[in-house]
Chain A
Amino acid sequence: MRDWKTVVRVHLTPLPLDAARANDIVDELAQHVAQHHADLVASGMDDDAALATALKPLRDNARVAAEIARADRPRPVTPAPPPSEKAGVIRDAIRDARYAVRLLTRAPGFATVAIVTLAVGIGANTAIFSVLNAVLLRPLPYADPARLVMIGELGSHGAGNVGYTTFLDWRDRSHGFEDMALVRSWTATLVTTGEPERVPAMRVSSNFFRLLGVRPALGRDFRPDEDTPAGWRVIILSDHLWRRRFGADPNVVGRVVTMNDRHYTIVGVMPASFEPLISEHFYQRAEMWSLVGYDTTLPFACRSCQHLKAIGRLKAGVPMETARADIDAVQSALRAAHPTDYSRSTMTLVPLQDELTGKVKPALTVLMGAVAFVLLIACANVANLLLARMAQRERDLALRTALGASRARIVRQLLVESALLGLAGGAAGLLLSAWSVPLLATLAPTTMSRLAGAHVDARVVVFSIAIALATALLFGLLPALRASRIDLQATLHADVRKSSQAATSPARRLLVAADVALAVVLLAGAGLMIKSVGRLLGVDPGFNPDGVLTMQVSFVGAAYAQNEQVVTKTDQMLAKLRELPGVEAVAAASQIPLGGNGDCWGFHIQGRPAPTPADDSCPERYGVTPDYFRVMQIPLKSGRLFSDADRANSDAVLIVGERTARTLWPNDDAIGQHVRIGDHANGPWRTIVGVVGNVRHEELAAVPSMQMYTPQSQITDSYLTVVIRGSADPSRLANEARRAIWSVASDVPVYEVAPLPDLVAKSVAPRRFMMVLLELFGAVALLMTAVGLYGVISYSVVERTRELGIRAALGASRGDIVRLVVGSGLTIVALGLAIGVVVAAAATRYLQGSLYAVSPTDPTTFAAVVCVLFAVAALAQSVPVARAMRVDPVVALRQD
């Protein structure tokens, strides 16, 4: 029996309707034709003639299909002239959108893959943009924040510090500023109830909060008359501290608390919304503020006593450059009047926003670039999917054109479909980013302090909608333009099964090549970061962190007013700690490596005066107890280490780092030299007794600067870090150590207890953050590229089945077939790799700041990336290649 449905299907142009409906219609027509045929045969006609007669009406098949389609559904193309142009456009757009939704729901596989791809691309962009927005773009939460600047001499890290007297001159003599305020860091040991606690705090001038444009939520602001050496013991609490230590007591204002054995009156509480960003280490959020309380008679208020930071508010309308020139002129006059107090540096103004975010800006810019690449890959893949789909839809589109749709109309229809996909992907991406931003916040280094406030706000939503639409335009334009060029005749008359040229057009191959190229760039970035972090962790820091526990203590208050009291207590404390089981050595230091910046002291060599003492070199000074070098395993290069014999009343001694010795005495022995540190005119001449190895103090990546060590017994620091080298896991010692310290000094706060290896890891955190994210984006890029490549190669194998069959029939071996298919894939990959390597070599430059000991064009990394991509490409091709090898010539040839 004849399969009438197939007969009709063969004769009828495929109907531009959904599959189920088209099938019904074919079924119905088949019944009609069959019965007609049967009747004709019954009336005596022979079979062939009957068949011809029954099928005759279908001869003009394209027109018939068009008629049927037009009758079967609302007319899509020739609407009545719109009442107004605008209303028509909107109505058309709505109809296009509805139509697009229907089409997409009918192809759920295609829609899912496209939307997921876009969601990953847009989600990654939105997530990184949320971070960028929170950390860099979101204005500081102060009044008119653009006018806030840090003021100082140009130092290695932006604006330098200032002395009190100098500050007064700046404030009084400059004209470009509405006001200037002072800040300095402060640590106060708060004793209310329970354990003594060290609170990160700041001392500020009385106008500080007014300068920022913020006001306490409870109580009052500081008064100018309180900002004196006698009157400054008033404090304002942060909302957090108020809740944590004072139970959010509404009557806290007026209460007197004891800190460092002195009484302070609480005068106010800041609102919870106040972001206390400004402090010496701005990421360490201040929880309490008191007044600077200086006057010019104080010894540490001198012009060169640079330990304060100045913040200014520019007058409205005064440009940064004018204000800088103004303050520079003031400083020049001061330098002329007090030549020994100032260096020759020029003045600088740093926008407060930059001061707080400058360090993370390059890293975030690189990440933003990386996610843009991920999005481009996603675009290329979706464009590829659309092109493949176009091949199936050409007839539909040709039919619509035949029914009177203009080309512009078709292009618009396709662009609406793309926009819909883009927006769906964007919505999914937004969800993805809303979920991943908190994850990023936990991963981020402390330098991105404002990341805690990252969330999906209006700006982020607008951003993601904008990139969703831009993306849609990008991936939709190519297929849409191709659609507008469809050859009507050829398409309508073409055989159903013959695949169109759009399937593996050069455009699709180029898109995959672009995928490969973009993946190369991302993977190169990831590879370079991995190598950097590896090298960084492999660097010799100059000390051995393994097995060392660190904890901070502070000896403040009346009981420690005298240096001897601190020294005695320190010795007792260390002795007690030394008795703990498993402890090998114990010491204390004013600063430990990777625990924050060191403090540099002027270094005045006997017999070698500089033109002005301010121009003398300034090595970092670390106060240490004798066993410090043993605990940290810092090697002695020459001379001797400190011993218990170096006391306050014995000869003043000094140990210098190798770099200090080499720089200052390139041809001489540093040992035995006499140096005065800090004050060039007073104090003892200190004898250098030893030279020790350089230590990477600031961060692992930083070349060690000049360093020197003084015995704690001779220059006594009250804030100390205790370092304990134990045989066991250092963190196990923490509780016993804390108890041991309190058994000697119950009033000493112990805080920031951390194994030294943790501090090392923390110092690598910003780079690790970059590395992890670039790895992630690289992996996504690799996956998307593999999928794109797989799609194109398998499509071409299907398309070429017949050709491959003929080749096989003519005697081509399996090897030949494999070579043929793999060859076509390899061309794409090779092209992509070539372009990618060139682009990557140019792009990785921007990573330079984050790299360590790796060139941005590191050949090994690039080679590895090329190998990885090649391997993935081979894998992606293996499935279609296997399919090509199984092509049966007989089946392939019968296919047409």
Chain B
Amino acid sequence: MSDRDLRKGSAELLILALLEERDRHGYEIAKLIDQRSDGAISFHVASLYPTLYRLERRGLIAGKWVERSGSRRRRFYRLTAAGQKVLDAERRSWRAFFNALNRVARIRHA
């Protein structure tokens, strides 16, 4: 797994995981990733949206415009059934990966 693939894969995992909790819009996703990783992982416009669109195209997430009175329409993303399956599989493989890393390099699993 190359570094680029690793990061790309992790970005997708993060997004899917955040959407598992509830539907969110793009800025919220970026902000949450930034907050929860204490700034260690950050997305901006140029990297977030291509990832979102790619996930959407693969049918893992689905975007929907939602109009709220008083505010402008926003695009919310939700996890699809296919996305849930991929997320579960990713989780298993990441967990296995971390366990392996931990056993070898003794990195404490968060």
Contact = CB atoms under 8 A, between A and B. Distances in A.
A33 B46 contact: no
Interface stretch (A24-32, A503-511, A512-520, A556-564): A24-32
A809 B51 CA distance: 50
A25 B46 contact: no
Given A31-B72, A32-B30, A67 B57 contact: no
Nearest to B49: A68
Nearest to B65: A24
B26 A31 contact: yes
Contacts of A666: none
Contacts of B57: 71-74
Interface string A2-43: 000000000000000000000011011101110110010000
Contact of A60 (B26, B46, B72, B74): B46
A57 B44 contact: yes
A35 B27 contact: yes
A68 B47 CA distance: 9
A24 B53 CA distance: 12
A29 to B, nearest CB: 6
A168 interface: no
Contact of B50 (A35, A39, A56, A70): A70
A469 interface: no
B46 A67 contact: yes
B24 interface: no
Given A72-B57, A73-B57, A31 B25 contact: yes
Contacts of B25: 31
A25 B31 CA distance: 19
Nearest to B54: A71
Nearest to A32: B27
A432 interface: no
B51 A71 contact: yes
B44 to A, nearest CB: 4
B27 A68 contact: no
A58 interface: yes
A29 B43 CA distance: 13
A71 B26 contact: no
A29 B74 contact: no
Contact of B46 (A31, A35, A57): A57
Contacts of A32: 26-27, 30, 45, 48-49
Contacts of A39: 31
Contacts of B72: 31
B21 to A, nearest CB: 19
B68 to A, nearest CB: 12
Given A28-B75, A58-B45, A71 B53 contact: yes
A72 B46 contact: no
Given A32-B26, A32-B30, A72 B53 contact: yes
Interface residues of B, number: 22
A63 B47 CA distance: 11
Contact of A25 (B27, B49, B54): B49
B75 A33 contact: no
Nearest to B74: A31
A503 B52 CA distance: 37
A24 B26 CA distance: 13
Interface in A41-67: 56-58, 60, 63-64, 67
Nearest to B51: A71
Contacts of A64: 45-46
A476 B51 CA distance: 37
Contacts of B51: 71
A608 B23 CA distance: 119
Nearest to A31: B74
Contacts of B47: 57, 67
A70 B49 CA distance: 11
Interface in A68-94: 68, 70-74
Contact of A71 (B30, B50, B65, B75): B50
Contacts of B73: 27
The CB with the most chain A CB atoms within 10 A, among B27, B72, B74, is that of B27
Interface in B55-99: 57, 65, 72-75
A477 B9 CA distance: 44
B43 to A, nearest CB: 9
Contacts of A73: 57
Contacts of B50: 67-68, 70-72
A93 B74 CA distance: 38
A57 to B, nearest CB: 4
The CB with the most chain A CB atoms within 10 A, among B25, B45, B47, B74, is that of B45
Given A35-B27, A36-B27, A29 B53 contact: no
Nearest to A5: B72
A56 to B, nearest CB: 8
B45 A57 contact: yes
Contacts of B65: 24
Contacts of A24: 65, 75
14 contacts: A27-B73, A28-B49, A31-B26, A31-B27, A31-B72, A32-B26, A32-B30, A36-B27, A39-B31, A57-B44, A67-B47, A68-B49, A70-B50, A71-B51
Given A33-B45, A57-B45, 16 more contacts: A24-B75, A29-B45, A29-B49, A31-B26, A31-B72, A32-B30, A56-B44, A57-B44, A60-B46, A64-B45, A64-B46, A71-B50, A71-B52, A71-B53, A72-B53, A73-B57
